[in-house]
Amino acid sequence: MNAGETCRSCRLRWEESRVSDYGVSHGACRVDVFAFLQLLARLEARRCLKDIEPRLFLRPVYLIQWRDLYLCVSGKTELLYHLLCRCVLPEAAGGLEVDALFVDTDYSLDMLRLVSILDSRLSSAGLEEAALRSSLSRLLVVHCSSSSQLLLTLHYLETTLNSRPSLALLLIDSISAFYWLDRCEGGASISRQEEKLSKCAELLGRLLRDYKFTIFATCHTIRRSSSGLAASRSSTLEADRPYLCRPWQRLVTHRVLCSRQEAENHTAGGSREEKRQVFGVHCSSSSSRTKASRISPFCVTDAGVQFI
């Protein structure tokens, strides 16, 4: 993508500064996955567009669903924190300085870990304590304890979106937290079981159309893959069978799968070889014809996710 060209998908013009920011790696923020590139580009492009026309809320319309395979340890949470940090950090540290709303449905937000990632990125950029406070103040956290409360909170989200125009990202972790509770409450009828999540999905669809922000939602695996750490890609995709309701599946535009790969040997600056846990992320989009079939590996360090 050259400066001055128009991006085919979002029809926004690339500014030269954005292209140069984009090509250079910001330390831990180098992203290799194609759909991620597109997404982050859109976030950046939206920001520069806001500078040109502040009253025009043209934000990308993406709903990204994360799944993890093969058990809980798949680096999914780390990737989420990586993206969250990228949004709230100041520009000097490689962030986008936008507000983010984190909807926590199962008390899985580890604030201490998030702050340690923010801290290490800020200190490597040479910024002080005050920058940490301002980054944290850009993050809003809501906790929901049932799917009814989630529905009501999403209704209230409209007010929040109006009052905070810099809110560009909604993170839901996780949308599948109440799946079993709803299934049991719904009894034998599947439509009653899926009723609440369908209403949430419809509401989110309407909000996305009106306000055009980005949503990331994580979704847990409920079935263990019987082949364990599969080497073949086809079984990776087969194991990701969607189980949430249809309105939600229709809303999702990008699917990201995180999985754990074999730990590789890594010589850590001395004679001692260490095994480093490597995770892989695979992104597929419902709009693109060709599926991005690469699995981008990353590992987790103290400063968060580092793509290899």
Partner 1 sequence: MVGLQEGMCPGLDGGLLRSLLAADVKTVEDLVSSDLEEVAQKCSVSYKALYAIRRVLLAQHTAFPVSGADLYDELLSSTAIISTGNPSLDKLLDSGLYTGEVTELSGGPGSGKSQVCFGVAVHVSHQLKQRVIYIDTTGGLTASRLLEMLQSETSDRDEQMEALQRIHVFRLFDAYSLRDRLSTLRSGGLLQASGGGSVKAVIVDSVSAVISPLLGGKQNEGMSLMIQAALALKTMAKDFGVAVLVTNHVTRGGRGEVQPGLGASWSHIPRSRILLERTDRAPSGCSSTLRSATLIKSSRQPCLIKEELDLQWWSRSERRSSGKRKRDEADS
Interacting residues toward partner 1 by CB under 8 A: 71-73, 77, 88, 101-102, 106-108, 110-113, 115, 133, 135-145, 148-149, 151-153, 155-156, 160, 174, 177-178, 180-181, 183-185, 196, 199, 203, 220-228, 263, 275, 277, 300
Kindly tell me which of 44 and 182 has the beta carbon lying closer to partner 1.
Answer: 182
Please name which of 279, 282, 250 lies closest in space to residue 264, comparing C-alpha atoms: 279
Q: Are 256 and 219 in contact (CB under 8 A)?
A: no
Kindly tell me which of 14 and 211 has the beta carbon lying closer to partner 1.
Answer: 211
Question: Least distance in Å: CB of 190 to partner 1?
Answer: 11
Kindly tell me which of 163 and 293 has the beta carbon lying closer to partner 1.
Answer: 163
Kindly tell me which of 135 and 253 has the beta carbon lying closer to partner 1.
Answer: 135
Please name which of 64, 30, 63, 56 lies closest in space to residue 296, comparing C-alpha atoms: 30
Question: Least distance in Å: CB of 101 to partner 1?
Answer: 6
Question: Least distance in Å: CB of 291 to partner 1?
Answer: 25
Question: Least distance in Å: CB of 285 to partner 1?
Answer: 25
* Backbone dihedral region for residue 258 (phi beyond 0: left; psi -120 to 50: alpha; all else: beta): beta
Other CB atoms within 10 A of residue 68 CB: 25
Question: Least distance in Å: CB of 105 to partner 1?
Answer: 9
DSSP string, 151-164: HHHHHHHHHHHHH-
Kindly tell me which of 56 and 181 has the beta carbon lying closer to partner 1.
Answer: 181
Distance CA 213, CA 211 (A): 6
Question: Least distance in Å: CB of 186 to partner 1?
Answer: 9
Please name which of 41, 47, 32, 26 lies closest in space to residue 94, comparing C-alpha atoms: 26
Kindly tell me which of 24 and 71 has the beta carbon lying closer to partner 1.
Answer: 71
Question: Least distance in Å: CB of 26 to partner 1?
Answer: 21
Kindly tell me which of 18 and 67 has the beta carbon lying closer to partner 1.
Answer: 67
